[in-house]
Amino acid sequence: MNGVSGKILVAYASRRGSTEEIARAIGRELEALGHPVEVAELKAICTLGGYRAVVIGAPVYMARIEKDVATFAARFGGELARVPVAAFAVGIAPVDPRVGSVEGILGQLGAALGPIRPVAITMFAGRLDLARMSFLERTLTGAMKVLTGDFRDWEAIRAWARGLPAAFGS
């Protein structure tokens, strides 16, 4: 841990599990590097006391960052301003630009975080599973001919996680 005390919080929002699974993979990678980590859903977090850094995972639905991310950032803005923050978005845009540009989505993520400027920010391709969607979502996905499947690149996710301690200054 290089003398830095406290845990790293990996906080996420997830409707269908893809962002949660990525958050947990990031947590495991950080733990393998010797950093104490807690992985938790954004809505379950009551305080940021005791955390030395925060990673925020944001799913993208219908080309929009999940609103829970902005709610979390507004609620804990003061505490987030005192620790290094990293953020990642998860969606289909990296493999199917018809659903939005990666740059545009990262801009939305930055806007959702408000005045907090992440020390690291990225977007990962996610999983779009028709079996986990509502009828309306399946209909829209089909009409738009959006690619479906699991596009997560686990090695890219682990590599990004391995770079976080340096970005956090630890």
pLDDT tens-digit profile of 94-151? Answer: 988 887 899 999 999 999 999 999 999 999 998 877 677 666 666 666 556 666 778 8
DSSP string, 91-159: ESTTT-GGG--HHHHHHHHHHHTTT---SEEEEEE-EE-GGGS-HHHHHHHHHHT---EE---HHHHHH
**Domains recognised in the chain with CATH numbers:** 7-165 (3.40.50.360)
Token pair belonging to 67: 């609103």
User: What is the rounded (10 degree) CA torsion for 156, 86, 73, 5?
Assistant: 130
Beta-bridge mates of residue 51: 7
User: Could you read off the pLDDT of 120-133 as tens digits, one per residue?
Assistant: 999 999 887 767 76
Report the predicted TM-score, pTM, of the whole model to 2 decimal places. Answer: 0.89
Contact between residue 10 and residue 30 where contact means Cβ atoms under 8 Å apart: yes
Question: Which residue, chain included where needed, has tokens 């609620």?
Answer: 75
